[in-house]
Amino acid sequence: MHTELPHGTPRRRIESATRHAPWRSRDIPVPLRISLLAHADHCVAAVRCWSAHALPGALPPEPVRPGRLLQQLCLALSDDLPAAVRTAADAARARKVWRAYTHACQLLDREEPPRRLPQPCPVCDLKALMRRADGDIFCRSCNSYWPATG
Ligand SMILES: [Zn+2]
């Protein structure tokens, strides 16, 4: 059985097929977060820089995947933190790593839970002071607020 189709039909069928076929899903852009990838690189570079100055022996001699390198260096640095922040320059590099970490938390919409401080609140005198990941301090009792300095 053969029915003649009007001129142009096959093309429309192909176009229709590309719109409705399963492989159409490949055309949907993957929600790749370039900012996140760039920041991941920045995190690795910041930790590598700190480690290269403070604990050069911790850097692996052979190339390692960035995630593994980050993990290895973080473990090495945290193993002996006082040794890793002997100089003011080390402290500045450590601060850069801390900033990279808190920014990563923000990018991932993940916030570190605030930490309780042992000092009483200077306003209400209750032990209700909390320090947030960004360094800001607030009182859970009277809602006093002190922004982080520096
Ligand atoms: Zn208070």
Domain boundaries, the chain: 34-107, 112-150
The radius of gyration of the chain's CA atoms, rounded to the nearest angstrom, is 27
| pLDDT tens, residue by residue, 54-86 | 999 989 989 899 999 999 999 999 998 999 999
* Strands of 72-150, DSSP E: 115-116, 129-131, 137-139, 145-146
Q: What is the pLDDT of residue 132?
A: 86
Q: pTM above the 0.85 mark?
A: no
**pLDDT at site 143:** 94
> Distance from the CA of 127 to the center of ligand 1, in angstroms?
8
Q: Which residues surround ligand 1, an ion (CB under 5 A)?
A: 121, 123-124, 139, 141-142, 144
Separation of CA 138 and ligand 1 centre (Å): 8
Instruction: Report how far ligand 1's centroid is from the alpha carbon of 134 (Å).
Output: 19
What's the gap in Å between 146 CA and the centre of ligand 1?
11
